[in-house]
Amino acid sequence: MDRAPARIRPFLRLARYDRPIGFWLLAIPCWQGLLLANIGGPGLGWPDLELAALLTLGAIAMRGAGCTYNDIVDRDLDARVERTRDRPLAAGTVSLQSAWLFLLAQCLVGFVVLVQLPPIAIGIGLAALALVAAYPFMKRITWWPQAWLGLTFNWGILVAYAAVTGGIDTAAVLLYVSGFFWTLGYDTIYACQDMEDDALVGVRSTARALQGGLHAWLWGFYLAAALLAAAAILVQGPTPWFVGLFALYAYYLFDQIRRTDPDKGAACLAVFKSNQITGLLLTGALFLACII
């Protein structure tokens, strides 16, 4: 970021290229859907690497677009919150018109990627636009905006699965709902950083709504995530070789709860970022179930 030309640095920050965890958390569900589809299905064996590359590029483009759109909608709120007041639109280093043009450019990249996929996957991908468009407004109207993010961030599972199999079945739905609960958990932890500022400006979150029993709720979210992920794999009838990595995934998932202290924002951010490893461990378990 610091080596980039000064003129484009604000745009890179607008798309959060300085915070790559979001790209991982959007790309990982795509890879998981792709691998799940190859367990005992028409893509039996090694996954299509060209398709994996397309899905990765699409995740990068659309995560940047989503962040840009979110900052356009939230620019006034961001200016009133300590953690977000230096974002380019809130700080005035990028104009609103330039932000809209940058958003359009990123969406065009995502669209070019999408049209490379089979028609069924294109249709499913386009359906996600409604989720993306509504997300920034959820914190204003519901205490559960993290649930909406869970629906949005894991949509790549359905797109990738349908691109391989030509449709969506029980296994895909189970993994998608697993991802929903995973995101609900980690984004609740992330939102703990902003509870005081959110209360001042009237922003709602599950962190604020559930703070009285936060750890119990996290246990529920992550238990559902682990059980549903296991069910998704077992429905496909894999060999048992995936169990070791799956157990490690479950350990990392539940260990987040122990390490979460809602009164320590920096610690919550570190726990949130550790979901890159958690997600990759489940991806590894799916890969083993796919190729062995």
- What is the reported pLDDT for 200? 81
Q: Is 66 exposed, middle or buried (0-12, 13-18, 19+ CB in 10 A)?
A: buried
Helix (H, G, I), strand (E, B) or coil at 202: coil
DSSP at 242: G
Residue 208 has pLDDT above 90, yes or no: yes
- For the chain, the average pLDDT equals 93
Look up residue 159 and give its amino acid. Answer: V
Average pLDDT over residues 9-38: 95
CATH of domain 9-291: 1.10.357.140
The pTM is what? 0.94
Q: How confident is the model at residue 55 (pLDDT cuts 50, 70, 90)?
A: very high
pLDDT digits (tens, 9 = 90+) for 98-120: 999 999 999 999 999 999 999 99
The answer to whether residues 59 and 23 touch, using CB atoms and an 8 Å cutoff, is yes
Domain layout of the chain by residue ranges:
9-291
Neighbours of 170 (CB within 10 A): 11
Residue 269 has pLDDT above 80, yes or no: yes
Distance between CA atoms of residues 111 and 217, nearest Å = 37
pLDDT value of residue 43: 45
Of the candidates 239, 220, 253, 222, which has an alpha carbon nearest to the alpha carbon of residue 286?
A: 239
CA 269 → CA 10, 123, 154, 209, 221, distances in Å? 22, 35, 20, 19, 18
- Does the pLDDT value for residue 133 go beyond 90? yes
**Residue 224 CA from chain centroid, whole number:** 17
- The C-alpha atoms of residue 162 and residue 160 are separated, in whole angstroms, by 5
